[in-house]
Amino acid sequence: MKMIFKSHLLLFLPVCILSLAACNQPAKQSSTSTMTDSTTQATLPAAKGFEQTIDGKQAHYYILKNKNGVQASFTNYGAHLVGLLVPDKAGKLTDVVVGFDSIAGYKTSLSAYYGATIGRYGNRIAKGHFVLDGRRYDLFINNKPNTLHGGQKGFNDVVWDTKQVSDTAITFSYLSKDGEEGYPGNLDCKVTFELTKDNAIKISYEATTDKNTIVNLTNHSYFNLNGAGSGTILDHIVQMDASNYTPIDATSIPTGKIEPVAGTPFDFTKPATIGSRINDNNEQLKNGTGYDHNFVLDKHDLTTPIATATGDKSGIEMQVFTTEPGLQFYSGNFMKGGNTMHGGAKDELRTAFAMETQHYPDSPNKPQFPSTELKPGETYKTVTIYKFSAK
């Protein structure tokens, strides 16, 4: 049976399940599944809030489910990862991704990029311009004085096509037109989310262009491994295989230097809680209002995790693998409690963190950083895996 359901099926599914239960099961045997305690299990948002026409295109809601009961939900609006249910150390399904119940929620919080696919350029480009092949390109300045996550209407705010659907994988595609948001070249993008047998979300990005351009795609999920809405992430334990990072100026643009983390609050080469040094008197922490920095990964070939985060209460561990050279570690410093999320909690300060795998911010203006240029005939290909277990 296909485990991926389009929203209209989902709308009917609870009704069907309820009817079946009513007809065939005594009430006390309300569940024959492996769930341990249905009253405390987290749930995914319903499909209803995601059925909408935007810019003339239909947005839908999709659920992937593997044989272990892990579930991930998505909308093709912004190719968002909406929710992700994984078991905690007691086997209780826990939603580790902070998300909304509807597209309206995502629309009103556009500057936060909850769960979104980010493009054409993840993170900042200084002062909203760059030079490529001797020509200057101007972008929309949406994060003064810089461009952040694509510009005014990034890939998080467009409806993607859903080209391929299987029980545990879904592919979204989007053609970003030549000149869209100021970037050169028609960029044909694909992002595939796969829910693996070993409880990982594998994200594969692909893009091609018909003119020289720049590209840096990422996913901006906000994780709380104790469960969305369960309080701050300050006691989460984090470890990153990054001996260096890229310090930033007061506008969060890398200075261009690559500096060792040793002896600084940025040293997560050994496990440390997010909160243990976040309030240290440190210029870089001030510039980022906490952690909001690109970590230079020692290795990035999918063979070993580049980062691990553990929820102190749930025991849920997330390992991150990537082919990308950088990891933007963001400690939710600009969360202000202004949004009500799925489950009812507000998005209070530092109640989630992001680990955005990508090339370094402002690379188009920093020739010393790995290049983000893409030429006709080349295929941009990157893979990131977020793998979950609990103990």
User: Which C-beta is closer to ligand BGC: that of 75 or that of 221?
Assistant: 221
Shortest Cβ 347–ligand BGC spacing (Å)? 11
Beta 218-220 vs 116-118: how paired, if at all? antiparallel
Shortest Cβ 291–ligand BGC spacing (Å)? 10
Phi and psi at residue 385, in whole multiples of 5°? -125, 130
What SS3 class is residue 157? Answer: helix
**Could you tell me where the beta strands, DSSP code E, fall in 211-315?**
213-214, 218-220, 237-240, 244-246, 259-260, 272-273, 292-296, 307-310
Q: Within 13 Å, how many C-alpha atoms sit on residue 283's CB side?
A: 6
Shortest Cβ 328–ligand BGC spacing (Å)? 5
User: Which C-beta is closer to ligand BGC: that of 278 or that of 390?
Assistant: 278
Q: Are 102 and 45 in contact (CB under 8 A)?
A: yes
User: Which C-beta is closer to ligand BGC: that of 94 or that of 123?
Assistant: 123
**Alpha-carbon span 51 to 100, nearest angstrom:** 14
Shortest Cβ 180–ligand BGC spacing (Å)? 20
* Residues ≥6 apart with Cβ < 8 Å to 7: 47, 48, 50, 51, 60, 61, 62
User: Which C-beta is closer to ligand BGC: that of 328 or that of 384?
Assistant: 328
Considering the candidates 80, 220, 236, 342, report the single residue annotated as catalytic.
Answer: 220
Considering the candidates 51, 180, 317, 356, report the single residue annotated as catalytic.
Answer: 356
How far is the first Cα of the chain from the last one, in angstroms, to the nearest whole number?
Answer: 31
Is 220 one of the catalytic residues?
Answer: yes
Is 180 one of the catalytic residues?
Answer: no
**Alpha-carbon span 31 to 41, nearest angstrom:** 13
User: Which C-beta is closer to ligand BGC: that of 60 or that of 293?
Assistant: 293
Peptide bond preceding 120: is omega within 30 degrees of 0, i.e. cis? Answer: yes
Q: Give residues in contact with ligand BGC (CB under 6 A).
A: 111-113, 123, 252, 292, 328, 330, 334, 356
Catalytic residue list: 220, 356
